[in-house]
Amino acid sequence: MDRVDRLLALIAELRAASPEPVDPAVLAGRLRVSERTVRRDLELLTHGGLPVRQVKGRGHALPGAAEPEPLSEAGSLTGPVHDTLAEAVRTRRVVRLAYTDQSGARSFRDVEAHGLVVAPYAEYLVGWCRMRDGPRMFRLDRIGAAYLSGRGAEVRDLDELLAALRVPMPRPAPGPEPRGPAGAARARAWTLDRLEFVRSRLRDAAAEVRPAAPGGGGGAAALRAVLGHLAEWTRWQVAAVRAAATGEEPVLDGRRPPFPAEFGREMPYDARERMIQDAMALRSLADLARDLQEVLEAAGHWAAGCDDALWEAELPDPRPFGAPGPPRPLADLLAGWRGPLAHIEWHLDRLSDEPPPAPSGDDEDVWVVDRCPLQA
């Protein structure tokens, strides 16, 4: 990993153990670097202002987070709406909202607060609306007032709440005035956060099958097929989005395997997928995971450094098949519902929710990904 990722991982390890100290030798083993490197990084972080303390004979530690002052019901009416909602999420409470929807209609509703989400053009409360009896997202800038009740939120089905998060990315309000840099910064931050979340899911998926016996069981074989599929298609999707944004020729990142000459010609999805699986078959699970991670890492570096103007524009949607889709924001193309990140999550969800049937016959060791939203 590069230095920035290593520093982030080091801080994450210290925070996970906080307030208990962690020995530098243990940190070195977890980060797969030398103990000298860990000590140098700790010194750098300390000089940079991170409150790392050294516990003699035990290692280094970060202080535990201070508990926030509890917000009273009366205080929730006079303080900032955001503070009231954050307290409701932290303490799993019900909030009473004065909410104005997109059409201008105001309503008063009780909402079980489950999370605050930052999207490119707004911040949202995710919760269970008792008036609608279902999961909903509420834009914070449309919440005129919020009252913190004394009632606790119920335990809800996580899938239903996640469904509320997987709506198409919200668009900015129409108008002739230009959107300022804050919109670009928020869109970039949201996209990079989604990228890191998907990368962590991929690491977890690979780690779950790693202890399997040599050759792997069904789970490892299915994951190998999915990673091979995702590495090539994500490589293409990200390159196509970047080309649409910059007007330059597509640049394919990662470790692309050699393909037959006919791979570049038009062909049905199943024939192309068979070629992808054949080309990826000689690679190990670790190699496939590394290829896909490198594609996502390159996408993250590009997204972090590209011009603000690209985040403010509406760009053509490069579809895998057929004509380009209607223009969408860059954040939507990369991290929205039909983008490469959603494509990866779709397959990871299928692996955990709907295990595919075992292969049989002549294709004993071949798993072809024949169900995919790219075919839609």
Confidence class for position 121, pLDDT limits 50, 70, 90: low
pLDDT score, position 213: 38
Q: CA-based diameter of the chain, in Å?
A: 71
Do 196 and 326 have their domain in common? yes
* Domain assignment present for 67: no
Residue 103 neighbours by CB under 8 Å, 6+ apart = none
Confidence class for position 242, pLDDT limits 50, 70, 90: very high
* Residue 163: pLDDT over 70: no
- Give one DSSP letter per residue of 260-311, joined into a string: -GGGGS---HHHHHHHHHHHHTTS-HHHHHHHHHHHHHHHHHHHHHS-HHHH
Final residue belonging to a domain, choices 133, 165, 197: 165
pLDDT score, position 66: 65
Closest CA to 19 of 61, 57, 60, 48: 61
Determine contact, residues 38/28, Cβ cutoff 8 Å: yes
Final residue belonging to a domain, choices 61, 87, 109: 61
Dig out the tokens for 203 from the structure.
Answer: 């690491």
Beta partners for residue 98, in sequence order: 108, 145
* Domain assignment present for 47: yes
The gap from C-alpha 86 to its chain's centroid, in whole angstroms, comes to 21
How far are the Cα atoms of 94, 136, 265, 276 from residue 130, in angstroms, in the given order?
10, 10, 53, 48
CATH of the domain at 192: 1.20.120
% of the chain beyond a pLDDT of 70: 81
Which of 158-172, 303-317, 353-367 has the weakest average pLDDT? 353-367
Do 278 and 133 have their domain in common? no
Residue of 242 and 67 predicted with greater confidence: 242
Q: Which domain holds residue 318?
A: 181-375
Residue of 24 and 70 predicted with greater confidence: 24
Confidence class for position 55, pLDDT limits 50, 70, 90: confident
Which of 35-49, 78-92, 161-175, 244-258 has the weakest average pLDDT? 161-175
Do 158 and 185 have their domain in common? no
% of the chain beyond a pLDDT of 90: 17
* Domain assignment present for 27: yes
Do 35 and 87 have their domain in common? no
Distance CA 149, CA 171 (A): 32
Do 132 and 266 have their domain in common? no
Q: Mean per-residue pLDDT for 162-188? A: 54
* Domain assignment present for 102: yes
* Domain assignment present for 174: no
Do 57 and 128 have their domain in common? no
User: Which residue in this structure is represented by tokens 């949201």?
Assistant: 190
* Residue 167: pLDDT over 50: no
CATH of the domain at 9: 1.10.10.10
Do 331 and 371 have their domain in common? yes
CATH of the domain at 142: 2.30.30.520
Do 56 and 79 have their domain in common? no
Q: Mean per-residue pLDDT for 220-230? A: 86
Do 158 and 195 have their domain in common? no
Confidence class for position 290, pLDDT limits 50, 70, 90: very high
Confidence class for position 234, pLDDT limits 50, 70, 90: very high
Query: 336-358 pLDDT, tens per residue?
Result: 877 899 889 888 877 765 444 44
Do 271 and 251 have their domain in common? yes
Distance CA 12, CA 1 (A): 15
Residue of 353 and 86 predicted with greater confidence: 86
Count of domains in the chain?
3
Do 224 and 141 have their domain in common? no
* Residue 18: pLDDT over 80: yes
Supply the pTM of this predicted model. 0.53
* Domain assignment present for 172: no
Residue of 173 and 160 predicted with greater confidence: 160
Residue of 322 and 255 predicted with greater confidence: 255
Do 266 and 148 have their domain in common? no
* Residue 172: pLDDT over 80: no
Q: Mean per-residue pLDDT for 160-183? A: 49
* Domain assignment present for 38: yes
* Domain assignment present for 66: no
